[in-house]
Amino acid sequence: MNNYNKTNDVTALPAWRKLLDHRESMKNFSMRDAFRDDSKRFQDFSLAGCGLFLDYSKNLITHETRSLLVNLAREAGVEQAAHAMFSGEKINCSEGRPVLHTALRRPVGEPLMVDGRNLMRDVHGALAQMTDVVSRIHSHLWRGYNDKVITDVVNIGIGGSFLGPELVSEALAPFARHGVRCHYLANIDGNEFREVTADLNVETTLFIISSKTFGTLETLKNAQACRSWYLAKGGTEEKLYRHFIAVTSNRQAALDFGIREANIFPMWDWVGGRYSLWSAIGLPIALAIGIANFKELLSGAYAMDQHFLNEPLEQNLPVLLAALGVWYHNFWDAQSYAFLPYDHNLRNFVKHLQQMDMESNGKSVRHDGSSVSYTTGPVIWGGVGCNGQHAYHQLLHQGTPLIPADFIVPVVSHNPVADHQEWLYANCLSQSQALMRGKNRAEAEAELRAKGLSSNEIERLAPHKVIPGNRPSNTVALEIINPHSLGALIALYEHKVFVQGVIWGVNSFDQWGVELGKELGNSVYSRLTRYDAEPADDSSTQGLIDFFRGRHRG
């Protein structure tokens, strides 16, 4: 049980009750009218920090809404919770662990004592080990079994041991200068294995087995397959240490796999997988962009940590985003949330946010085990603009569900082509504008009239042309995507998710739900492969096992 959330049930808080009444009074609120009536709306509802600019004026809010939402965060104990997390209290109550991914971005000279131990020694020791290996690979001191330079790195990992590193190494591709290409092997699927290894040269490829537990089936199977591939293609057992390294908190399992002691990078139980890109799990990132850029990434995240810890709640970027999310989710029945990055290099952002948000807050009991009486984590989805505009934005504009969205857009492109960036930025803005203002019946009719349509035709077509508008969004703009701003951006959403977890009273740092599937996976596997096995518990599973075996028998 956490010791900061004094109420346990958020619905009992005064601010929650006031928000329920306030929601009633907002039934007829029109954002379009609000912008017309208040020329200062943009200034009043926008905020800069850590190189990011948040425009949250296109929301279904007034000044009163904001103060009630901030009160909710305050009454839920967000400030105390943040301090508890940063100082190493065991806020992951179901696993009895502190939650200290923020320690990974703390600069040198700021000790952090937990259970009598200065964790910063471990953190900076791991960073030094990363620096050493990255510099040896980049300077060609570390070579493959027949002394060829390492050109390709395959990260074997899944979930948090994959999504964050993939996002960052690809988002920061313009900073890749050392001739090392990163590849990611996650799924237990021969198609993916074949695709990743197809063009690799065994002599110049390094494999990183990235697994906090070193017990994840997909990763271990892929690691074995990569090892067999390495040996089959001419690699030697003797020089295997030049091609395989591991990042894990399970040192013994990595040793048993055959990884050399010096090639094992540490992880700790106080870092959740989905928050681990800042640790040695980020090794592929450092190999792609260099250790100096990796440290810049950490310093961007650290800047956001300080912002989150020190800024008043009213001007606190993660708190505002979190409270707005709660406003729509719990008071406007918005069951999903869209992320729409307008930048090709951020194409993997949504995948990372999906794990970060849904694995963290996809919970339905509070810290004390009691069931929540309200909904928690929303469905997270989205993808890069403009592609989404020609696919699912239709539903955002005219569909029945209310889906709040965050637009994320840099001003400067790393690869300017003609006036593409101007168009990209313009598309981003026009989407949020269209969502906000919509097109009313009179406008739709006037448009059709201007085209010379008969009144019968206007009557028939106008309903299809009406766009309700009043659909909320935030825009997070940044000057350019670089290691610092990306670090701040990712940390912004980490803290947003944390704040929402605090408000809902759930433990954002365990993931017991994924365990059952893993357990059942073993029993289904043994029934698939052993003909004498007991039948499955249910006829559906057994029927599908028979379907598989029918095909494989012949």
Ligand X SMILES: O=P(O)(O)OC[C@H]1O[C@](O)(CO)[C@@H](O)[C@@H]1O
Active-site residue list: 359, 390, 518
Contact mark string toward ligand X, 352..391, x via CB under 6 A = -------x--------------------------------
Return the closest-CA partner of residue 79 out of 302, 310, 304, 301. 310
C-alpha dihedral (143, 147, 151, 153), degrees to nearest 10: -50
Q: How many CA atoms lie within 13 A of 507 on its CB side?
A: 26
Kindly tell me which of 246 and 313 has the beta carbon lying closer to ligand X: 246
CB 192 within 8 A of CB 144: no
- Which of 514, 525, 543, 547 lies at the binding interface for ligand X (CB under 6 A)? 514
Among 155, 161, 263, 508, the residue binding ligand X under the rule CB under 6 A is: 161
Q: How far is the CB of 238 from ligand X (least distance, A)?
A: 28
Shortest approach of ligand X to residue 539 CB, angstroms? 28
Query: Judged by CB under 6 A, does residue 158 bind ligand X?
Result: yes
User: What's the chain's length in residues?
Assistant: 554
Position 353: which residue type? L
In eight-state DSSP terms, residue 143 is B
Burial (CB count within 10 angstroms: exposed 0-12, middle 13-18, buried 19+), residue 418? exposed
Residue closer to ligand X (CB basis): 280 or 486:
280
- Considering only 51, 77, 88, 159, the residue that binds ligand X (CB under 6 A) is 159
Among 77, 88, 160, 483, binds ligand X (CB under 6 A): 160
Is position 485 an interface residue for ligand X (rule: CB under 6 A)?
no
Nearby residues of 440 by Cβ (< 8 Å), 6 or more positions away: 466, 469
In angstroms, the first-to-last Cα distance of the chain is 55
CB of 88 to ligand X, least distance (A): 21
Shorter beta-carbon distance to ligand X: residue 65 or 276: 276
**Contact pick of 62, 211, 431, 485 for ligand X (by CB under 6 A):** 211
C-alpha distances (whole Å) from 501 to each of 10, 191, 322, 360, 373 are: 11, 37, 9, 8, 14
3-state SS assignment for residue 53: strand
DSSP state, residue 8:
S
Shorter beta-carbon distance to ligand X: residue 161 or 432: 161
Q: Which residue has the tokens 């989404």?
A: 388
In whole angstroms, the minimum distance from the beta carbon of 462 to ligand X comes to 50
Strand segments, DSSP code E, in 439-483 are 473-478
Q: Which is nearer to ligand X, 276 or 421 (CB)?
A: 276
Q: Of 213 and 541, which has the nearer Cβ to ligand X?
A: 213
Chain residues 270-309 in contact with ligand X, contact rule CB under 6 A: 273-274
Smallest gap from Cβ 212 to ligand X, in A, equals 4
Cα(304)–Cα(551) distance, rounded to whole angstroms?
Answer: 54
CB of 515 to ligand X, least distance (A): 8
In this chain, which residue has its C-beta nearest to ligand X? 273
Alpha helix locations (H) across 157-250? 163-171, 190-197, 217-232
Please give the residues from 9 up to 68 whose contact with ligand X meets the rule CB under 6 A.
Answer: none
> What is the smallest separation between the CB atom of 273 and ligand X, expressed in angstroms?
2
- Nearest distance in Å: CB 379, ligand X: 18
- Chain-centroid distance of CA 227 in Å reads 30
101 belongs to the binding site for ligand X (CB under 6 A): no
- Minimum separation from the CB atom of position 299 to ligand X (A): 24
Q: Is 212 in the site for ligand X (CB under 6 A)?
A: yes
Measured from the CB atom, is 426 or 514 closer to ligand X? 514
511 contributes a contact to ligand X by CB under 6 A: yes
Tell me if the bond preceding 182 is cis, omega within 30° of 0.
Answer: no
Find residue 56's DSSP bridge partners: none
From candidates 92, 102, 205, 219, binder to ligand X by CB under 6 A = 219
**Binding segment for ligand X among 61-69, 159-167, 419-427, 431-439 (CB under 6 A)?**
159-167
Nearer Cβ to ligand X, position 112 or 254?
254
Number of residues that bind ligand X (CB under 6 A): 14
User: Is-contact 85 360, C-beta < 8 A?
Assistant: no
Residue 165 as a binder of ligand X (CB under 6 A): the answer is no
Stretch that binds ligand X, among 18-26, 152-160, 186-194, 439-447 (CB under 6 A): 152-160
Name the CA radius of gyration of the chain, rounded.
26
Report the half-sphere exposure of 134 (CA within 13 A, side-chain side): 25
The residue from 67, 94, 151, 213 that contacts ligand X (CB under 6 A) is: 213
Angle at the Cα of 164 from the Cα atoms of 158 and 168, rounded to 5 degrees? 135
Residue 393 touching ligand X (CB under 6 A) = no
Q: Which residue has the tokens 């139980």?
A: 269
User: 508 with 360: CB under 8 angstroms?
Assistant: yes
Nearer to ligand X, 266 or 468 (CB): 266
216 is a site residue for ligand X (CB under 6 A):
yes
Q: How far is 497 from 353, CA to CA, in rounded Å?
A: 9
Side-chain-facing half-sphere of 329: CA atoms under 13 Å: 24
Residues lying near ligand X in the complex (CB under 6 A): 158-161, 211-213, 216, 219, 273-274, 359, 511, 514
